[in-house]
């Protein structure tokens, strides 16, 4: 028996078992069960992007600017995220290949290395901020930073234990669902939801206009929704889950549901922290770990604890998802093991990348005196600046009939995709102008 054969059989058997359950549910027209079996990658990628730096960016947004401009703006960014992520569903289901693998196959080693370098660079920086969020959330409960980092790293390493994509996915989904605590807290808080609804329907101007500081916050909120790792993670997860062409419809529902749930979490975070704006709190004194403390007078000690726990959980979920997206990309490019259906012995390089990149990020955050708050918003901005090439590769693949076949983009989907690319690129250009001319008021 060849050395790689048990690995292949184990992975194939795991996916076959899942497909049998899907086919049985489809044959019996058990649509709720079929939805339950097929959802996962879309919800995970969207709620995973509601990560610690994203929620802290939303908190800073609500506390500095209120609800008027940013709530409808953030909803718009999630609509754009759906446009991009829907393509990864079709690519993964049609080709049975990951995003990095397709880029290498169609554009060659140079562009493949460029795309993977872009991914690993932004993933590592983002992972650092996830552990910043984990430390920040745990700090509310007086948990020492080293212990908080070890807890986060332990959750990432738990991927080795499952040896089954399905089991891993369900565990992370359970953690990701806690992101809705921000919306629940906002509903229970003393907030005028009539004002929130009015702000959503009638887009009001930015308080103070477009200055360099507001442009930074706008870019941070775009980077809180649209980042390169999402493309690599969802296409890899769709492939690992074994979705077929006939499942694409359900993959779209999964992604739309994820975008809706994540948007609720983001809107809830902005709405609840707008209490600080309404009460003219000086948010400059609040670091990442102190938003929950600042909100306690308005939402109570339990509410403050849940807010801090939400930041902690957001960091945990994203740390797992981002580490996994890096491992998927590495496994696809090197043709090593690239599935969570493998054991550690069957795919050591896959798990070394998954665990190694998280361990390095955790070690950096554990350095005494590390500037936790300073890196959070800047990492979201870097994500925006690295997004245009990722969108470009995505659209080229989505229009290549040799790659995607009958699932090729229609002209309407191309218009939407190009619109997302232009939007992100324009945001980057505006940010560059604001850096060159910091006193410019637009």
Cα distances (Å, whole numbers) of residue 283 to 199, 277, 279, 296: 22, 8, 11, 14
Structure-block tokens of residue 234: 């969802």
293 versus 376: which is more confidently predicted? 293
The answer, yes or no, to whether residue 371 has pLDDT greater than 70, is: no
The answer, yes or no, to whether residue 125 has pLDDT greater than 80, is: yes
* Region 127-155 average pLDDT: 88
The answer, yes or no, to whether residue 285 has pLDDT greater than 80, is: no
Angle value at C-alpha 66, between 62 and 72, nearest 5 degrees = 85
Q: In this structure, what are the phi and psi dihedrals at residue 206, rounded to the nearest 5 degrees?
A: -70, 135
Question: Which helix (H) or strand (E) element contains residue 110?
Answer: helix 99-139
The answer, yes or no, to whether residue 4 has pLDDT greater than 70, is: no
Structure-block tokens of residue 250: 């359900």
Residue 401: count of CB within 10 angstroms of its CB = 9
- DSSP designation for 437: S
pLDDT for position 164: 81
Name the pTM for this structure: 0.88
Give residue-wise pLDDT tens across range 63-117.
888 887 888 899 999 999 999 999 999 999 999 988 988 998 888 888 888 888 8
Are 90 and 310 in contact, with CB atoms under 8 Å apart? Answer: no
Structure-block tokens of residue 35: 């939805």
Span 40-436: which CATH code?
1.20.1740.10
Give residue-wise pLDDT tens across range 391-423.
999 999 999 999 898 999 999 999 999 999 999
The answer, yes or no, to whether residue 430 has pLDDT greater than 60, is: yes
Q: Where are the domains of the chain?
A: 1-38, 40-436
Most confident option among 115-129, 207-221, 295-309: 295-309
10 Å CB burial of residue 374 (0-12, 13-18, 19+) is exposed
Binned at pLDDT 50, 70 and 90, residue 435 comes out as: low
Give residue-wise pLDDT tens across range 30-73.
888 988 989 999 999 999 989 888 888 898 888 888 887 888 89
Q: Can you spell out the DSSP letters for 241-259? A: HT--GGGHHHHHHHHHHHH
* Region 173-199 average pLDDT: 87
pLDDT for position 262: 95
Are 206 and 214 in contact, with CB atoms under 8 Å apart? Answer: yes
Are 45 and 321 in contact, with CB atoms under 8 Å apart? Answer: yes
Binned at pLDDT 50, 70 and 90, residue 259 comes out as: very high
Q: Measuring CA to CA, which residue among 387, 367, 431, 390 is closest to residue 128?
A: 367
Binned at pLDDT 50, 70 and 90, residue 2 comes out as: very low
The answer, yes or no, to whether residue 181 has pLDDT greater than 60, is: yes
The answer, yes or no, to whether residue 156 has pLDDT greater than 80, is: yes
pLDDT for position 289: 53
Cα atoms found within 13 Å of the Cα of residue 149, Cβ hemisphere only: 20
Q: Measuring CA to CA, which residue among 234, 297, 263 is closest to residue 47?
A: 263
Structure-block tokens of residue 424: 């992100």
Give residue-wise pLDDT tens across range 334-366.
877 778 888 888 888 888 989 999 999 998 888
Binned at pLDDT 50, 70 and 90, residue 1 comes out as: very low
280 versus 107: which is more confidently predicted? 107
Residue 65: count of CB within 10 angstroms of its CB = 20
């Amino acid at each position: 028996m060849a050395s790689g054969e048990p690995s292949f059989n184990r992975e194939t058997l795991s996916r076959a078992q899942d497909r049998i359950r899907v086919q049985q549910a489809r044959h019996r027209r058990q649509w709720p069960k079929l939805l339950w079996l097929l959802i996962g990658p879309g919800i995970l990628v969207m709620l995973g992007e509601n990560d610690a730096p994203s929620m802290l960016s939303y908190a800073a947004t609500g506390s500095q600017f209120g609800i008027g401009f940013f709530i409808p703006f953030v909803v718009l960014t999630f609509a754009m995220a759906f446009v991009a992520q829907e393509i990864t569903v079709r690519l993964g289901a049609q080709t049975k290949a990951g995003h990095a693998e397709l880029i290498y196959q169609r554009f060659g080693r140079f562009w493949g290395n460029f795309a993977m370098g872009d991914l690993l660079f932004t993933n590592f920086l983002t992972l650092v901020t996830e552990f910043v969020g984990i430390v920040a959330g745990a700090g509310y409960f007086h948990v020492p930073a080293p212990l908080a980092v070890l807890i986060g790293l332990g959750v990432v390493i738990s991927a080795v234990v499952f040896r089954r994509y399905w089991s891993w996915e369900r565990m992370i989904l359970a953690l990701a669902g806690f992101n809705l605590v921000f919306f629940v807290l906002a509903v229970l808080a003393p907030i005028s939801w009539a004002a929130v609804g009015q702000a959503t329907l009638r887009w009001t101007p930015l308080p103070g206009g477009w200055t360099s500081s507001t442009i930074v916050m706008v870019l941070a909120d775009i980077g809180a929704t649209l980042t390169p790792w999402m493309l690599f993670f969802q296409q890899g997860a769709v492939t690992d889950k074994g979705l077929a062409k006939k499942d694409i419809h359900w993959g779209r529902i999964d992604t739309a549901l994820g975008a809706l749930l994540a948007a609720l979490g983001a809107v809830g975070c902005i709405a609840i922290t707008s209490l600080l704006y309404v009460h003219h709190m000086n948010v400059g004194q609040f670091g990442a770990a102190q938003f929950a403390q600042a909100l306690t007078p308005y939402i109570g000690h339990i509410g403050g604890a849940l807010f801090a726990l939400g930041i902690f959980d957001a960091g945990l979920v994203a740390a797992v998802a981002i580490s996994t997206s890096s491992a998927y990309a590495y496994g696809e490019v090197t043709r090593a093991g690239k599935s969570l259906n493998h054991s550690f012995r069957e795919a050591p390089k896959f798990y070394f990348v998954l665990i190694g990149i998280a361990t390095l990020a955790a070690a950096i955050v554990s350095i005494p005196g590390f500037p936790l708050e300073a890196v959070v918003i800047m990492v979201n901005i870097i994500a925006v600046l690295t997004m245009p090439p990722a969108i470009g590769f995505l659209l080229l693949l989505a229009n290549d009939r040799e790659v995607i076949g009958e699932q090729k983009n229609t002209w309407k989907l191309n218009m939407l995709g190009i619109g997302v690319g232009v939007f992100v690129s324009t945001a980057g250009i505006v940010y560059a102008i604001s850096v060159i001319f910091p006193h410019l008021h637009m």
